[in-house]
Amino acid sequence: MTSAEADAILKTAADNYTATCYSGDRKMPVMRAVSTVARRALLTPDCGCLPQVIAVRGISFSPRQVVASDASFHSVSFSETDHPKVLITGGLGQLGVGLAKMLRKRFGKNNVILSDIRKPASHVFCSGPFIYSDILDYKNLREIVVNNRITWLVHYSALLSAVGEANVPLAREVNITGFHNILDIAVEHGLRLFVPSTIGAFGATSPRNPTPDLCVQRPRTIYGVSKVHAELMGEYYHHKYGLDFRCLRYPGIISADSQPGGGTTDYAVQIFHDAVKTGRFECNLKPDTRLPMMYIEDCLRATLEVMEAPADTLAMRTYNISAMSFTPEELACEVQKQLPDLQVTYNIDPVRQAIADSWPMNFDDSNARRDWGWKHEYDLPELVQTMLGSLGSDSRVAHTS
């Protein structure tokens, strides 16, 4: 088709369309965009060669639509279409940033969108797509899923154990109501949904040493109750509607990249920060309180592995995973092998201690190891060396600066 013929066709289409698309004497911007794309399509050579690929942003009229400067969130090149499109809610917590980094390396930078209701740090914002997402706003969530063609949803938004006990109404709203929004959207749009659970999903009447996948669950925190609710609702939606729901019960997660966020197991993160900065650590749990723990790299890898596992290998939809189990005293002794001058004292927080006393001492994760090949890489000595190496390097840089 010649340029003159293309112009004639576009003029006729424009005359018919703009009768309803004028505002005063100016065409709507969408008409200009459609005309440009149509013109390039009409001028495709007869030889069948493909025209230049143009990333086109989806159009939505919601007042919460992403601003024009964020249009890259909606752009997908053909080379990326074989990969899942992932949305991570609550992405600025302990796990979201690390998981986004891992998934972007595997699936491509623009295929993984980090989201939260907080403003991200500059390095997080510049590392890949970030978008505002409020899990209590159902319409906003649907818009994000549709406009970005999301296929996997990783739902990390939640208030943790100690923080949740301090504000039960908010924890109920975020952890339960927000989860229901996620659940319904995942069913509606056929998403693969990952929701983490926790050692807090068990209670004082559960077997504690070890704790199997299936046993009595009677948690006494709103965090634990909300996680049991999520496990059961996810499994129900899987059997009722075919939702591809996947869930791992995380132990305490230890990471050098984030500050403690209000969890009962956070002492196992705080000790490393305090050991490097001050050489003194005050623990809020009893020295003999044994809990299952895991280094963040193992946790993130387990999450990716269970999401990629073929559905027919999953005998259940919620699995325990574990790596090691230790007490504050055992952790302190291992740290003191590297930093002999570390001083450790104990000032017991009765709320956190009561929570810890109701949680498993060891996880039985044999089903995960059998069904989809779970295997941890970090034990306590490797954990301590890795954490001190990471934080020690950061500390030296800070002092030099």
Q: Which residues are marked as active site?
A: 223
- Spell out where 52-162 has E strands: 86-89, 112-116, 130-132, 152-155
Q: Which two tokens stand for residue 293?
A: 């723990």
β-strand 324-326 against 291-295: which pairing, if any? Answer: antiparallel
- Name the DSSP class of 158: -
DSSP helix/strand/coil, 281: strand
Q: How far apart are CA 193 and CA 151, in angstroms?
A: 9
User: In 3-state terms, what secondary structure has residue 131?
Assistant: strand
Grouping H, G, I as helix, E, B as strand and the rest as coil, residue 295 is strand
Helices (H), 19-137: 29-42, 96-107, 122-127
Structure tokens at 338: 């590297």
| Angstrom distances, CA of residue 357 to CA of 2, 28, 167 | 78, 64, 21
Q: Compute, in degrees rounded to 10, the torsion defined by CA atoms 235, 239, 245, 251.
A: 30
Full DSSP string of 299-343: HHHHHHHHHHS-GGG-S-SEEE--SEEE-HHHHHHHHHHH-TT-E
Task: At 4, list the tokens.
Answer: 């003159």
Whether the CB-CB separation of 281 and 344 falls below 8 Å is answered with: yes
Contact 103, 192 (CB under 8 A): no
- State the pairing for strand pair 22-23/152-155: unpaired
